[in-house]
């Protein structure tokens, strides 16, 4: 049983034009249409259900003609087309006996997954409506009722519901937004205000669940199981009425404190709550009963594209195989999915279609379920080293604060870069021991960035993986074992005087960035300060006095390709020092 309440218009499960057409665009006549489909407006976003998608997509294609983005999309489309063709060829060779055998294997897996179902938790996802845009409208009432987006000509962070009626949405370049809606007002972002509002909201939610899990500034999971039970015991009301009342109260308190509206989804686990929260936006709430049949019914007609974790490429591949809804995943094609996809991917599809997910927001559950913590930022084209390092410092600070707030430490630093040609570069470094220290995260990220420059970037991100509970005994044992390894010596930057315990390669990038960004007056002060400290403020003399840990291992690695060098160092548990 699922119910909706509130003023939200709801986007529903929706349907797609040409849904029964098996043409995947791999033929010559379908390439243009398939490519347009890849770049097409995603109308699943709240407030975009009535957009003239065909007209909007024509403008998007026209504005993208000749752009590096279009060229990158063509390359991605070509790779996807090859993947689809390969899967179709493999599917055509599946014999009746093999198909029946895989169907039986899938049935066994589904039965085992069903045994994992838990219905005793009442989980809520609170999702703030057009969060950044709503704050800008709140603080500047003149923006209300006008098409407005937060961001710039290079990229939009979010848009209000008026702008969404024109097809303007997040992750869209501002110049395309202007083409879709010439009256569009672009407002500069103010993250200090967004963070302050998010802190107020988290404070309110923490009164309902001390382990509230904020997954972003505008979304958080709240376990209201105990609160709902208390209401049911006190009033004799049904679970639906009690849960609905608690969620409505929560949303009202958020509005009273911030003058911002929130939508919410309630279900027996995080997956169902997440999907439900998007069903009745803005300013509404959706309830899915803690009942197996209710959950299966709720998921059955859901397009696979609406499942968190299934992106447009995977959805396109599944569509080509005739799998378009969650019901299709559990239907006659389930054996093929098990054969054509990895066991891990198939298990993910099956769990999602069954509506299975984590049912707790406690700290131990976060450690078990959450595999990474990260942040990324999109910006206009930047190539100056000092500006890129400054952005990296900000990202590292956000990641470290998140880990410390959740009592987590990460073992591997992952750096994500996207160039202005839309090429995505991903690099990773495994540290000696899990950490939540800024110097460790920032130092590793700067070293990896230093190796890739020069580049002109439009996006940067840092993610920590290999998360462990900072308070666990296993972590303490790991740290004891790791303590035998030599520590990196502290190094003082001769320009900004910061003391960082990072590799010399990372410090080199840090110093060069400082030198690039410093004014003549600041440079003079920095040089005077360095003179008092001893060595002159030049890179050569500075590093002549600085110890170089792992010099021998670094020299050996120069003889290996980069990929082998990283894998070898990580496997040996060494600190990766990049030149």
Q: Which two tokens stand for residue 493?
A: 């930057």
Domain of 443, CATH number, reads: 3.30.1490.100
Report if residue 472 sits inside a domain.
yes
CA nearest 256: which of 248, 245, 264, 266? 248
Report if residue 278 sits inside a domain.
no
429, 444 contact by CB (below 8 A):
yes
Reported as a single tens digit per residue, the pLDDT across 373-421 is 999 988 888 999 999 999 999 999 999 999 998 889 999 999 999 998 8
Band (pLDDT 50/70/90 cuts) for residue 184 is very high
Give the pLDDT score at 188: 94
Structural domain total, the chain: 1
Does the structure show a pLDDT above 50 at 445? yes
d(CA 525, CA 169): 46
Reported as a single tens digit per residue, the pLDDT across 340-380 is 999 899 999 999 999 998 765 543 333 344 678 999 988 88
Report if residue 421 sits inside a domain.
yes
Give the pLDDT score at 227: 96
d(CA 450, CA 577): 11
Report if residue 379 sits inside a domain.
yes
**Range of lowest pLDDT (32-36, 143-147, 176-180, 327-331):** 32-36
If one compares 16 and 9, the residue with the highest pLDDT of the two is: 9
Reported as a single tens digit per residue, the pLDDT across 250-261 is 999 999 999 999
Does the structure show a pLDDT above 70 at 454? yes
Angle between the N-to-C axes of helices 96-114 and 343-354, in degrees from 0 to 180, rounded to the nearest 10: 60
Does the structure show a pLDDT above 80 at 4? no
Report if residue 557 sits inside a domain.
yes
361, 211 contact by CB (below 8 A):
yes
Does the structure show a pLDDT above 50 at 144? yes
- Give 51-98 as a DSSP string: S-HHHHHHHHHHHHTT-HHHHHHHHHHHHHHHHHHHHHHHHHT--HHH
Mean predicted confidence (pLDDT) in 465-472: 82
DSSP class of residue 167 equals: T
d(CA 518, CA 294): 62
Report if residue 549 sits inside a domain.
yes
Mean predicted confidence (pLDDT) in 566-575: 40
Give the pLDDT score at 513: 66
Identity of the highest mean pLDDT range in 89-103, 130-144, 478-492: 130-144
452 catalytic per annotation: no
d(CA 5, CA 544): 68
Give the pLDDT score at 286: 97
Given the residues 73, 219, 240, 451, select the one marked as catalytic. 219
Mean predicted confidence (pLDDT) in 115-121: 94
Torsion of CA 458, 445, 393, 396, to 10 degrees: 100
CA nearest 126: which of 268, 34, 254? 254
d(CA 433, CA 441): 12
Environment class of 346 (CB within 10 Å of its CB; exposed 0-12, middle 13-18, buried 19+): buried
Task: Centre a 10 Å sphere on the Cβ of residue 539 and count the other Cβ atoms it contains.
Answer: 13
Band (pLDDT 50/70/90 cuts) for residue 511 is low
Reported as a single tens digit per residue, the pLDDT across 522-536 is 434 444 444 444 433
Report if residue 178 sits inside a domain.
no
Range of the domain at 378: 371-572
Report if residue 494 sits inside a domain.
yes
d(CA 372, CA 363): 14
């Amino acid at each position: 049983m699922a119910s909706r309440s509130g003023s939200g218009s709801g986007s529903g499960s929706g349907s797609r034009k040409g849904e029964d057409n098996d043409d995947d665009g791999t033929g010559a006549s379908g390439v243009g249409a398939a490519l347009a489909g890849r770049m097409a407006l995603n109308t699943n976003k709240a407030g975009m259900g009535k957009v003239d998608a065909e007209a909007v997509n024509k403008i998007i294609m026209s504005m993208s003609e000749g752009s590096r983005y279009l060229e990158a999309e063509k390359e991605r489309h070509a790779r996807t087309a090859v993947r689809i063709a390969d899967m179709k060829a493999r599917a055509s060779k599946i014999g009746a006996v093999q198909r029946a055998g895989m169907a039986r294997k899938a049935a066994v897996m589904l039965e085992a997954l069903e045994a994992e179902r838990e219905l005793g938790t009442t989980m809520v996802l609170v999702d703030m409506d057009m969060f950044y845009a709503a704050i800008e409208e709140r603080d500047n009432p003149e923006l209300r009722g006008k098409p407005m987006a937060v961001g710039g000509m290079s990229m939009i962070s979010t848009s209000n519901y008026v702008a969404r009626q024109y097809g303007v949405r997040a992750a869209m370049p501002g110049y395309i937004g202007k083409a879709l809606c010439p009256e569009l007002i672009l407002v500069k972002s103010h993250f200090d205000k967004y963070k302050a509002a998010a802190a107020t909201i988290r404070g309110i939610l923490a009164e309902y669940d001390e382990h509230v899990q904020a997954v972003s500034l505008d979304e958080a999971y709240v376990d209201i199981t105990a609160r709902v039970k208390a209401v049911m015991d006190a009033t004799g009301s049904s679970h639906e009425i009690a849960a609905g009342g608690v969620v409505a109260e929560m949303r009202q308190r958020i509005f009273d404190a911030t003058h911002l509206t929130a939508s919410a989804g309630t279900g027996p686990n995080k997956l169902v709550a997440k999907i439900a929260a998007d069903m009745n936006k803005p300013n509404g709430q959706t309830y899915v009963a803690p009942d197996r049949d209710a959950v299966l019914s709720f998921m059955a007609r859901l397009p696979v594209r609406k499942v968190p974790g299934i992106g447009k490429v995977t959805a396109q591949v599944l569509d080509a195989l005739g799998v378009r809804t969650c019901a299709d995943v559990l239907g006659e094609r389930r054996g093929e999915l098990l054969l054509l996809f990895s066991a891990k991917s198939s298990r993910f599809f099956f769990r999602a279609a069954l509506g299975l997910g984590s049912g707790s927001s406690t700290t131990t559950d976060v450690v078990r379920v959450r595999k990474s913590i990260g942040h990324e930022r999109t910006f206009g084209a930047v190539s100056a080293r000092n500006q890129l390092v400054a952005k990296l410092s900000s990202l590292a600070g956000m990641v470290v604060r998140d880990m410390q707030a959740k009592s987590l430490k990460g073992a591997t630093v992952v750096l994500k870069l996207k160039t202005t040609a839309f090429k995505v570069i991903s690099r990773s470094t495994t540290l000696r021991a899990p950490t939540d220290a800024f110097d460790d995260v920032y130092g590793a990220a700067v070293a990896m960035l230093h190796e890739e420059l020069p580049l002109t970037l439009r996006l940067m991100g840092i993610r920590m993986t290999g998360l462990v509970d900072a308070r666990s005994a296993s972590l303490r044992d790991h740290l004891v074992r790791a303590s035998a390894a030599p520590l990196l010596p502290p190094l003082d930057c001769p320009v900004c005087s910061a003391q960082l315990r990072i590799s010399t390669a990372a410090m080199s990038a840090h110093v060069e960035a400082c030198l690039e960004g410093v004014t003549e007056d600041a440079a003079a002060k920095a040089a005077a300060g360095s003179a008092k400290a001893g060595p002159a403020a030049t890179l050569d003399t500075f590093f002549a006095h600085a110890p170089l840990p792992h010099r021998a291992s670094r020299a050996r690695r120069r003889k290996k390709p980069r990929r082998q060098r990283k894998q070898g160092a990580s496997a040996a548990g060494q600190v990766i020092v990049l030149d």
